[in-house]
Amino acid sequence: MVFGVVGAGAEIGAVPPEIVLIHGIGVSHRYFERLHRRLGREARVVAIDLPGFGGLPKPHWNPTIGEMAAALAEVLDRLEVGHAVLVGQSMGSQWVTELAVQRPDLASHVVLIGPVSDERHRTPLSQGVALLADILREPPRSNLIVLTDYLRCGPRWFGAQLRWMLSYRLEDAVERLTVPLLVLRGARDPIAGMRWCRGLRDRAPEAGLVLVPRAPHNAQTTAPVAVASALLAFVAAHPAVRDAA
């Protein structure tokens, strides 16, 4: 499988923590650009495009969440990125959580922005309705990035991966985490509901929940300063096991 890497080693002189950004279904690193720049002042930041997204070739099979996470772990090993803050947005929340479960040595913290799939939205129709509601709340710039990336992804690959997104039980996976978890939710997010996000926080061994005021689903695009500040504050306040040793 072919992955795309943006920003590895670009932040010359940056200090730990290392941060890995993983996009959601249909999109690419492009909607992380504002958050990437802000976090790059404090850390080495790597944004990764997964196979079939961001114009990358599509695999000859439809990899599950677990298979995609395992392949992503191999990429991080090659980049020599380890013990990093793994940040996933939307479906990216599933990939980074599964990655941290499979390879806890690669994660210091896990951060989920607008995590899916909310128990209320586990059918294609329900997801579509929630997505439409979110489009009406996102600013034009955010919608332009997302919709153009959707076109590059194409409906067949989107639909293939949607199957795994709707069936993956994130609420069970977070229980198996061995590192601190931060759930970030935009206050106007119709896709990741407040009850759902609270449930994820409560089921993880060590976790926090931050509500980003006035932000919709793509809080990393509409409120990058608030998201970056919350992320860095959480990492500083919740040292990982290796950091505390």
Nearby residues of 135 by Cβ (< 8 Å), 6 or more positions away:
143
Amino acid symbol at 65 = I
Question: Which of helix, strand or coil describes residue 219?
Answer: helix
Where residue 239 falls among pLDDT bands split at 50, 70, 90?
A: confident
Helix H, strand E, coil C: the string for 106-136 is HEEEEEEECCCCCCCCCCHHHHHHHHHHHHC
Confidence check: pLDDT of 7 > 80 = no
Q: Does domain 4-237 have CATH number 3.30.450.20?
A: no
Domain ranges of the chain: 4-237
Confidence check: pLDDT of 23 > 60 = yes
Alpha-carbon distance 129 to 124, whole Å?
A: 9
Instruction: Sort strands 18-22 and 84-89 into parallel, antiparallel or unpaired.
Output: parallel
pTM: 0.93
Where residue 242 falls among pLDDT bands split at 50, 70, 90?
A: low
pLDDT (tens digit, 9 = 90+) per residue, 96-133? 999 999 999 999 999 999 999 999 999 999 999 999 99
In 3D space, the residue among 203, 215, 29, 12 whose CA is nearest the CA of residue 20 turns out to be: 29
Answer for the pair 217, 73: CB distance below 8 angstroms, yes or no: no
Nearby residues of 20 by Cβ (< 8 Å), 6 or more positions away:
45, 46, 47, 48, 76, 81, 84, 85, 86, 87, 96
Answer for the pair 73, 103: CB distance below 8 angstroms, yes or no: yes
- pLDDT at residue 4, as a whole number: 76
Query: Rounded to the nearest 5 degrees, what angle is found at the Cα of 241, between the Cα atoms of 240 and 245?
Result: 120
Alpha-carbon distance 187 to 155, whole Å?
A: 29
Alpha-carbon distance 113 to 91, whole Å?
A: 9
